[in-house]
Amino acid sequence: MALKNTSVLIFSLSCLLSFSVLASFSIPDTSSPSIIPPETICGSTVDPTYCKTVLANQNGNIFDYGRISFQKSLVQARKFFYLVDSYLQGSSYLSQYTIGALEDCRYLAEQNFEYLSNIYATASQASGVLPISQAEDFETYLSAVLTNQQTCLEGLQSTTSDARVKDDVLPSLSDDTKLHSVTLALFVKGWVPEKKIMTSWPQNGRNLNFKNGRLPLTMSDRARAIYDSASHHGRKLLQTDKSDESVVVSNIVVVSQDGTGDFTTINDAIAAAPDNSSADNGYFLVLITEGVYQEYVSIDKNKKYLMLVGYGINRTIITGNHSVGDNFTTFNSATVAVVAQGFVAVNITFRNTAGPSKGQAVAVRSGADMSTFYSCSFEGYQDTLYTHSLRQFYRECDIYGTVDYIFGNAAVVLQNCNIYSRLPLSGQFNTITAQGRTDPNQNTGTSIQNATIKAADDLAPNVGTVQTYLGRPWKQYSRTVIMQSFMDSLIDPAGWHEWSGDFALSTLYYAEYDNTGPASNTTNRVTWPGYHVISATDATNFTVSNFLYGDNWIPQTGVPYLSGL
């Protein structure tokens, strides 16, 4: 994931442009009656003492303070990028793992600066609440800034050598995280309108229905034949109906290992996709024929509105074996990593075959905003599915693993999925989720709805001797809700497991609603302050409509979904 020198140059230019804007911006007149003392404003932040140092000797309203914090966040994000880059420029003495961790940090720091710049361009001109959809977008990006900071921190903390790098980089990372937390808190307090929770929802539910009228005339007869025949595999892919609900496809290429398609590798097909498409342009569809593809697939931010369609679970398989045990960071161990907005995957198995002894080994890492996975399978052991950041939706997918195998800090709904715990190493227990929310103002969490939670074939004979839990709190404000799901007898009666002692037990939010099955009885569940058995009213907060604002973006994918309960 390392940036090239050209990327550094482009980043430098963008910094100069952004900071010319900052330099020309003046704080509005603070003589209005809405002036609030900094200590009052800071009371709504996670660390009021630190917040007061950010706003020291300032007077203003919530918007004035928010702009001050934004400016400082931008400056620090830029400084941190160059600090990390300076170590990578002279990295010959660094260990392989440290280089990998620093490359992750540099990549994430560039992303953070981009998010902050885009939000500030609007916030600098707005002294009132934003439209709800825009406010939700910006809150999502600011939440991701903190997630990126945490990801960088974890990679560097795992380094067992190169103490000089840690001693120099970690303090800056810690201070910047506090600053970005203040920025998020002030943004939420000032620019985000009160959210109205929907309690009635539109009817949803249809199969993918691609509008092929816009397919290129130059597509080969062989490609069109493969495309047409795909409707016989996995989910229904092609219908002749040209209704307004059809999915618009701008182009299609075929990946086939036998050379009969347009490409023989998935990465080459992705490289052919146009850069920075919009939703209106339609999806660039990559049809991946049946086979086992041993590739590490990376879908960068510029490959927006890309759709990968396979022939079905266990027919189209993308596989790799990178792991922490083999000196990769968790972040960079993924077989498939995607950050492109509007990404869709259908009918594909994603695997990491490193095995249970190699520790963290990711099959898919998604930091792609408004990404959707439909009828896909994710296979691994520890850390199988990394729902890293932003907004994500999974429908009718299979997820296999052992330890923390659905983890990350996205706002994510997994709907109608099959969740299979596998046989772990001797002495290990299984934990299905490890949600990574680090700040109470992040709009993130894991919502599992109408799932089937069962033992995989290798665990089934050992259910009586291996403990399996719904989750454990990876971070301070971990948030996971399981609702309307079937829980087989593999789940321990306590339901949830601590991470370490009493860490996060009062600040987490774990909830269950209307579940069924042998392990759904909550009588013997944990008694932590943060654990709840909730009502339909509370569960409504974690539906596709309310948690993801999914009615605004999932319909264009053609993937069936349920808006509410």
Per-residue CA distances from 471 to 46, 480, 491 (Å): 25, 8, 10
What CA–CA distance (Å, rounded) separates 354 from 358? 6
Q: Has residue 142 got a pLDDT over 60?
A: yes
pLDDT at 163: 77
Q: Has residue 544 got a pLDDT over 90?
A: yes
Q: Has residue 235 got a pLDDT over 50?
A: no
Q: Which of 260, 249, 259, 256 is nearest to 221 (CA)?
A: 260
Q: Has residue 147 got a pLDDT over 60?
A: yes
Report the catalytic residues.
Answer: 404
Please tell me the pTM assigned to this model. 0.90
Q: Has residue 493 got a pLDDT over 90?
A: yes
Burial (0-12, 13-18, 19+ Cβ within 10 Å), 176: buried
Nearby residues of 477 by Cβ (< 8 Å), 6 or more positions away: 437, 438, 439, 440, 442, 504, 507, 508, 509
Measure the CA angle with vertex 87, ends 83 and 92; round to 5°.
Answer: 175
What CA–CA distance (Å, rounded) separates 148 from 146? 5
State the average pLDDT over residues 134-162: 92
Q: Has residue 245 got a pLDDT over 70?
A: no
Confidence band for 311, pLDDT divided at 50, 70 and 90 = very high
State the helix-helix crossing angle for 62-89 and 96-123, rounded to 10 degrees: 150
Nearby residues of 541 by Cβ (< 8 Å), 6 or more positions away: 197, 547
Per-residue CA distances from 545 to 208, 394, 561 (Å): 20, 14, 10
Q: Has residue 18 got a pLDDT over 90?
A: no
Confidence band for 165, pLDDT divided at 50, 70 and 90 = confident
pLDDT tens for 468-486 read 999 999 999 999 999 999 9
Confidence band for 306, pLDDT divided at 50, 70 and 90 = very high
pLDDT tens for 323-355 read 999 999 999 999 999 999 999 999 999 999 999
Per-residue CA distances from 531 to 360, 471, 510 (Å): 27, 12, 5
Residue with the two structure tokens 């540099």? 106
pLDDT averaged over the chain? 88
More confident residue, 224 or 469: 469
State the average pLDDT over residues 30-59: 83
